[in-house]
Structure formats: structure tokens, C-alpha cells
Amino acid sequence: MEERILDEDEGRGIRIKRTADGETDAVEGTEGDEEVAFEFPEEYDESLAGMTQTQVEEELARREKAMQEALETYRKLTEEGNALLSEEKFEEAEEKFAEAATYEAENDDAVIGLFTAATKNFTDSERLYSDERAEDLGRFEAGRRLLIEKFGEKLSAERQSYREEIETLRPTVEKKQAERREAFAANKKHYVIWTSVSLFLAAVFAIATAIAADNILKVSDGSIPITLTIVFGVLTFVSVTMLAVFGLQLVGANRLCRLNEDLSSAEDGKRLLMLERRLEVLDVIFGSPAAPLPHPEA
């Protein structure tokens, strides 16, 4: 058993007491006891608890080495990104800066380079609406500040324009969606009825065919059962064909109902989703959402 205690007089030092017989105890040192003491880093790290002094030193050395390697990689990628940026190879530079930012998120150099490359030296804001860059906006405060400085007036105007278009477009999209929903539901109901009827008829005629065929050898004049078997067999085939046709139509009707609930399946709905996504990105850039958009159901 091993027990460690914090010594207030020693800051964050932890003392380990081992007795002569191998037992340990957290008591005042006495003659014959072996005392081992070492210091933890200024910020106490619980992951180091339970380690010996040697293990702690090795772990801290490993972390320091990893930090240095990450810093060197960051500097290398940033330098490569700046070189590509000077050659106006914006896409390649963007990739370098984006990778560099994963190594040193608190250093603004890579972030500034990232958004400089993404906007083609602040001449094109379109790339900001991509999923990758929109995600970066929420992570890097320096990027947001830079974009407001460079594009503030333009983005503010776009924000207002998108809001106005959404307010006009959303009621139209939802009205059309509701109209299609009613029509598609009626269409689905029609094919549900005919599919059910076809299934019922197919089952009835199949049973009748089996009964007629079973009686061919049981009666003296087998011509009647044979005729009935043929007639019911044909009707069964027709019913099964109808079942297949109406069943496929029902599958298509179900698909139309599902697609109608997905706004991106229609051009106006797709544009509405795009505008709302862009408005979300601009809200992130400006730090807070604008006033809530009115909703027709409100």
C-alpha cells in the first residue's frame, strides 16, 4: 500500500513514506524510514498520481518532446502555407493552414493565413459558407474578427438580404409542400386500396384453382374441374400481375410522400435550406443571431 499526501509547506510537493519493513504510511518521518519526495508541475495533473518520481519525469519529458514536435510541425506548415499564399495558390495554402491550425489552435498566424487563403486574399467571401470553413468560424475567434474587419459591411448586407428572402420564400415553400402532401397522400391511398384488392383476389383465385385441380381425379367427368382449374389459374395470374403493378405504384407513392418532407427535393425548398444555412454562418461570424425570423405558424 502506498499513500501520498500534499504538504502545504512544500507547495504541491507529494511525499511518499516507506518504512524499513517495506510498509508505507503517511506519518511524520522517524529514524529508519525511507522518504522519497518530488515536485509536481505548477498545475497539478491527476494523471500523474500513482507514478514514481522516475515515471513522472519520463512522462513530462515525453509531453515536452511532443509539444516541441507539434510546434515544429506547426511552423513548417505555416511557412509552406505562406509560400503558397505568396504564389496565389490559394487552395493548396488553405490546406496547409488548416492542418497547421490543428497543431497550435491558440496561435493566430495559421488562422489568419487560413482565412486569407479561403477568401483568396479577402476578395471572395463565398468559401466561408462551405462546411469546413463554417466549422472553423466557431473555433477561431481571430478568424471571425478578421472577417468582420475585411468583409463586415458586405457580410452584414448579405445577412439582411438573406433574412428578407427567407421571410418571403418560407411561406411559399411550406404552402406548396402542404399542397403536395395532400395530393400525394390521396395518391398513396388509391394504390393501397388497389393493392389490397389485388392481393385478396389473387389469394381467392389461387385457393379456387387448388380446389378445382384437387377435384379433377375425384369426379367421373373431369372436364368441368379442368375447365375451372384453367379459368381460376388465369384469373390468379391476372390478379398476381395486378398485385405487382399496383404494389410498385404503391412503393412509388410512398417514396413521393417521403421526398415531399425533404425540402431539398424541390428547387425552392433547396434554396430555402441554402439561405438558412448561410444565415447561420453569418450569425456565427457576427457572434450572435439576429432577431428571430417570423414563422407563418407562429
Q: Give the model's pLDDT for residue 14.
A: 44
Class of domain 153-285: mainly alpha
Q: Give the model's pLDDT for residue 32.
A: 45
User: Residues near 150 by Cβ (< 8 Å), separated by ≥ 6?
Assistant: 119, 122
All three cell numbers of 118: 479561403
Torsion of CA 134, 136, 137, 138, to 10 degrees: 100
Q: Give the model's pLDDT for residue 40.
A: 44
For 54-87, b/e burial (b = at least 16 CB within 10 A) is: eebeeeeeeeeeeeeeeeeebbebbebbbebbee
Query: CA 138, 140, 143 angle in degrees (round to 5)?
Result: 105
One digit per residue, the tens of pLDDT, for the chain of length 298 reads: 444 444 444 444 444 444 444 444 444 444 444 444 444 444 556 666 677 778 777 777 777 787 888 888 889 999 999 999 999 999 999 999 989 988 866 678 889 999 999 999 999 989 889 888 888 887 888 888 889 999 999 999 999 999 999 999 999 999 999 999 999 999 999 999 999 999 999 999 999 999 999 888 887 777 888 999 999 999 999 999 999 999 999 999 999 999 999 998 889 999 999 999 999 999 988 876 654 444 434 3
Query: Comparing C-alpha atoms, which of 172, 174, 175, 178 is closest to residue 257?
Result: 178
Query: Comparing C-alpha atoms, which of 289, 38, 272, 274 is closest to residue 170?
Result: 272
Q: Rounded to a whole number, what is the distance in angstroms from the first to the last CA of the chain? A: 66
Q: Give the model's pLDDT for residue 117.
A: 93
The identity of residue 108, as a single letter, is D
Domain ranges of the chain: 4-50, 64-124, 153-285
Q: Is the pTM of this model over 0.85?
A: no
